[in-house]
Structure 1
């Protein structure tokens, strides 16, 4: 895929259009509403699942996809998009759907590892030769450096970008006030806020805006693969542990009569076959044997959950309220930096 083709593909994908397994012969459909950087993963996963389900039941299923910023996607499900399952970037986004009685209480306990088939993190993508010499978060405040990140009000990865910076400062012994000062300065270097992670990728990789792109690990490797020697990946010493949870949307699946197939789809994500694909597309698999087999893909990095007691941020409900609600920390620092 050349640069022009990638631009077109990414731009179209950013519209949250449906995509997935194709073909006229299927007995029924499932809809997986996901976040921005999982297009490539689920495009291939859906084909594998369709083969698995046909072998298991003799029925043909088509899995369709919807992609966008994780927060926006959660709102679309609440507003009526008929998702059978959600595979969103943030626990808070899934639980927001639960709060509207579309997902059953206790959804985290219905699947292994608290409904977490893989995890990820936030890394940096820089221009060829790394002209600013970026090695860690502290290097993001250099004069004239421009940082590309999406809007944390709409994108899950963008929330993690902000929290990754905060966590790195706290791990370095900085006070909460100093961490706040750091992210304030960091966002003064952000020239544009896209609504989701893939939009930010297009801004950095296609529009050639910015000097460093804060992004999901798998998205960084996608940029590296498609743009080859034009970019480099930098792993900071410390970052946030990203945990994209998955869940059955009970109300929709029961109404559509797809519960059994949707449950099987989510279970399939934990199989060795699916876990190998997860690793191949640079998400960190939860299956211990698959993770060990693929550990060379993933450079060592110290990861903290945002809810780690050492960070003193509280649970996800508190983090969402404190940082990303109307008038929260992000609104305050972004407005002060304009």
Structure 2
């Protein structure tokens, strides 16, 4: 039975067409299960993807495959793999967390070349979810630093979701202040000060805002805000798309160190390839993610308003530079946020 706590968008129950993609290699059955280690708010998306992939795999190979899931803050998940969690695939929400695995030899150094679109099958961006009637009249990032507004998003130390929020706010502040970094620093410091509680991941922040009714606005991926709108119709929550936001990619990779040990590479590779197929892209679009398949994108264009997106590469010089300057120990985040 569907419950509110499950945060399952009702639209995900639809049946989708079989994928049109032709996978690169005829898969041979290996272990009868694989583990997808993923970000915190990806539970429902991958439950729906699994429901489409498993029968496809059965038809293709004759194998009954179980796709197990693990969800938590993206950075926490990367650390868990380094500590022994045997993920066959990762489906994260931040490039940095896959890079951590690549540097440790778990994932190929050129992992972004293994799948299309820099190994990101869909995308989103930080958006706002406000309460019935938008009583605080929240429209853009500048409203989030007002003294009368309490903002909910997770801890940037543990959540890729929150790091996108932090970088999107910083990019907005830089633009508004003509590149003045001191003013941008002050902006994000005030934003962080307006957060009454920092959950470790995006789903915890959603629970704090929606079920505990804490705060005036939730900042999370647009896919999450739109799913919650539909699930909590009686609360009349509303998504606000800011004037500018930051492109949020959702990188995927096969964990070579694990699949070579388990013999699960065929299923693991096919699973990630499936996310790019028309069936996999349709699942993602129904879960309010913006997809890269142009035909599927066109089918869902009415549910996605236009938005101006900037990128980590354009504003911060790429993820490596952003990590060194913003998120590394002693970096900008530590300076404005403090060690927590």
Q: Which TM-score applies when normalising by structure 1? A: 0.90
Report the equivalent of 2:203: 198
Residue 71 in structure 1 maps to residue 75 in structure 2: yes
Contact in 2 for aligned 1:35/1:68 (Cα 8 Å): yes
Equivalent position to 1:6, from 4, 15, 18: 4
Report the equivalent of 1:43: 47
Residue 290 in structure 1 maps to residue 296 in structure 2: yes
Report the equivalent of 2:26: none
Cα drift, residue 30 of structure 1: 0.5
Matches of 1:232 and 1:104, distance apart in 2: 41
Residue 226 in structure 1 maps to residue 231 in structure 2: yes
Cα drift, residue 175 of structure 1: 1.7
Residue 314 in structure 1 maps to residue 317 in structure 2: yes
User: Which secondary structure does the structure 2 equivalent of 1:194 belong to?
Assistant: coil
Report the equivalent of 1:122: 126
Residue 333 in structure 1 maps to residue 336 in structure 2: yes
User: Which secondary structure does the structure 1 equivalent of 2:336 belong to?
Assistant: helix
Cα drift, residue 326 of structure 1: 2.1
Contact in 2 for aligned 1:37/1:218 (Cα 8 Å): no
User: Which secondary structure does the structure 1 equivalent of 2:182 belong to?
Assistant: helix
- How many residues are aligned here? 316
Matches of 2:175 and 2:210, distance apart in 1: 30
Matches of 1:318 and 1:303, distance apart in 2: 19
Deviates more, 1:28-37 or 1:290-299: 290-299
Contact in 1 for aligned 2:254/2:269 (Cα 8 Å): yes
Alignment of 1:102-117 (within 5 A): 102-117=106-121
Matches of 2:279 and 2:330, distance apart in 1: 45
Residue 207 in structure 1 maps to residue 212 in structure 2: yes
Cα drift, residue 174 of structure 1: 4.6
Deviates more, 1:176-185 or 1:80-89: 176-185
Unaligned runs of 5+ in 1: 11-25
Matches of 2:334 and 2:105, distance apart in 1: 29
Cα drift, residue 229 of structure 1: 4.3
Matches of 1:143 and 1:245, distance apart in 2: 36
Matches of 1:105 and 1:141, distance apart in 2: 40
Contact in 1 for aligned 2:35/2:88 (Cα 8 Å): yes
Report the equivalent of 1:18: none
Cα drift, residue 6 of structure 1: 2.6
Unaligned runs of 5+ in 2: 8-29
Alignment of 1:134-213 (within 5 A): 134-172=138-176, 173-213=178-218
